[in-house]
Amino acid sequence: MWDPKDRQFFNLTRRQVLEAGTAVSISGAISPAIAQEQPPANASSPLPEHGMTVDVVCRINGQPTALQIDARASLLDMLRERLGLVGAKKGCDHGQCGACTVHLDGRRIASCLTLAAKVDAREVTTIEGIAGDHGLHPMQQAFIDHDALQCGYCTPGQIMAAIACVKEGHASSPEDIREYMSGNICRCGAYVGIVAAIEQAAPQIERG
């Protein structure tokens, strides 16, 4: 219980309050100044990994890639944080939205649920690697032609899933397309355009 005798500790003068406030303000101003004096980190050097690390040697978009990465890291984090391939998006981080879809050995996967260590000696393809020397991939062009996007956040995952949908043989009808694209969520609701884009691009992709 509070003792009235302790009242003396609360009898601060206005001057004491101002002095204390000034001291706090100065300490807050000094911290950023000290931080600014620190030399900037080398942007080209990889971020240090913590805990157990593993060596991963694979091909990403046709390019040999070798790096050491935290054994717990997901493929999505490796692509975005270590390699700067930010096309695949982190949406739900639970494998439920499809925004992180990439291809592993030609098959679509949720990169947020795939350990980076699991792609050792394998081939990864992201949205950055599908355009050819002569322009956009047919599926990319079809998405543009049919306005199959609005905000665009889910679009890289939609396109990667759409290419896989065609190659898996599931683009024979709008019903099939909707069924086999159901793992990719578009919160803007551009589904009509997405289905139309897949129907347009399918024949060209099937011809190779």
Average pLDDT over the chain, rounded to whole?
86
Higher pLDDT, residue 187 or 26: 187
Do 143 and 103 belong to one domain? Answer: no
Least confident of 29-38, 74-83, 126-135, 193-202: 29-38
Task: Determine the average pLDDT of the residues in 66-76.
Answer: 97
CATH number of the structural domain spanning residue 81: 3.10.20.30
Q: What CA–CA distance (Å, rounded) separates 11 from 25?
A: 22
Instruction: Tell me the pTM.
Output: 0.77
CATH number of the structural domain spanning residue 146: 1.10.150.120
Q: Residue 92: CB partners within 8 Å, gap ≥ 6?
A: 99, 112
Does the pLDDT of residue 91 top 50, yes or no? yes
Higher pLDDT, residue 112 or 8: 112
Total tally of structural domains belonging to the chain? 2
